[in-house]
């Protein structure tokens, strides 16, 4: 873990490298939890300071603040307003960015009651799914962002399961697996619906 964080800090400092460092730190924090959160938050705060219009960094930072609240709910007292401000800034400058829409949906989906809103989550995730379709057909440069589609489809599947619409949930889970055949939450969702192989 520490060697991964050191490698991120020693990477080149051009804009594209800084972007991918932020994405890597964000995903590392989501996968490993509390240990990687401070580093990822620091990197994303620096990215937002460098460019206040950086919608992806703003929404990733909002998601990580939400994770910090999940670990210690008292943090909502000072991080709740920051999440709202970051989410609004991200949507203002990145409304047509699939990752901004998807992570906004994720914020609404994972926020604790009474702050969460699964209908708003669904609306943002549905918009993200449409934007991912456009992006997948148009972005050809491998260095440009193309991440997050599987997570978006997976959350849409989870919301459809909650609404007892297993046919739609199955389609979303299968869409997630078309993007990333190893995406475990989609496989798990399919298995829970009775698809033995999770396919």
Q: 45-61 as b/e, with b when 16 or more CB fall inside 10 Å?
A: eebbeeeeebbbbbbbb
Dihedral in degrees, nearest 10, Cα atoms 73, 79, 85, 89: -90
Q: How far apart are CA 175 and CA 138, in angstroms?
A: 18
The two tokens of residue 94 are 């990145």
Whether the pTM exceeds 0.85: the reply is yes
Per-residue tens of pLDDT for the chain, all 199 residues? 455 555 556 655 677 778 888 888 888 888 886 788 888 899 899 999 999 999 999 999 999 999 888 888 899 899 999 999 999 999 999 999 999 999 999 999 988 777 788 999 999 999 999 999 999 888 677 777 889 999 999 999 999 999 999 999 999 999 999 999 999 999 999 999 887 555 5
Q: Which two tokens stand for residue 89?
A: 């800034």
Query: Tokens 């300071």 belong to which residue?
Result: 49
Which tokens in the block code for residue 2?
Answer: 């520490």
Q: Where are the domains of the chain?
A: 1-94, 96-199
Q: Which CATH superfamily is domain 96-199 in?
A: Tetratricopeptide repeat domain (1.25.40.10)
pLDDT of the residue at 114: 75
Same fold, 1-94 and 96-199: yes
**CA trace torsion 22, 26, 32, 34 (10° rounding):** 100
Model pLDDT, residue 30: 84
The whole-angstrom separation of Cα 154 and Cα 172 is: 6
Round to whole Å and give the CA distance between 149 and 114: 27
Please choose, from the candidates 168, 175, 166, the residue with its C-alpha nearest in 3D space to the C-alpha of residue 199. Answer: 175
CATH number of 1-94: 1.25.40
């Amino acid at each position: 873990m520490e060697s991964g964080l050191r490698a991120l800090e020693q990477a080149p400092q051009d804009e594209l490298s800084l972007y991918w460092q932020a994405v890597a730190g964000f995903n590392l924090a989501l996968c490993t939890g509390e240990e990687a959160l401070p580093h990822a938050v620091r990197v994303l705060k620096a990215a937002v300071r460098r460019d206040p219009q950086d919608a992806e960094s703003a929404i990733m930072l909002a998601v990580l603040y939400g994770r910090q609240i999940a670990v210690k709910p008292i943090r909502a007292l000072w991080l709740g307003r920051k999440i709202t401000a970051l989410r609004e800034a991200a949507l203002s400058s990145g409304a047509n960015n699939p990752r901004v829409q998807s992570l906004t949906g994720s914020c609404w989906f994972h926020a604790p009651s009474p702050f969460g809103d699964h209908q708003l989550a669904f609306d943002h995730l549905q918009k993200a799914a449409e934007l991912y379709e456009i992006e997948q057909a148009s972005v050809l440069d491998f260095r440009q962002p193309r991440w997050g589609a599987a997570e978006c489809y997976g959350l849409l599947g989870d919301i459809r399961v909650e609404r007892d619409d297993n046919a739609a949930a199955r389609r979303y889970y299968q869409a997630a697996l078309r993007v990333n055949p190893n995406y475990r939450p989609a496989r798990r969702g399919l298995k829970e619906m009775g698809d033995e192989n999770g396919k």
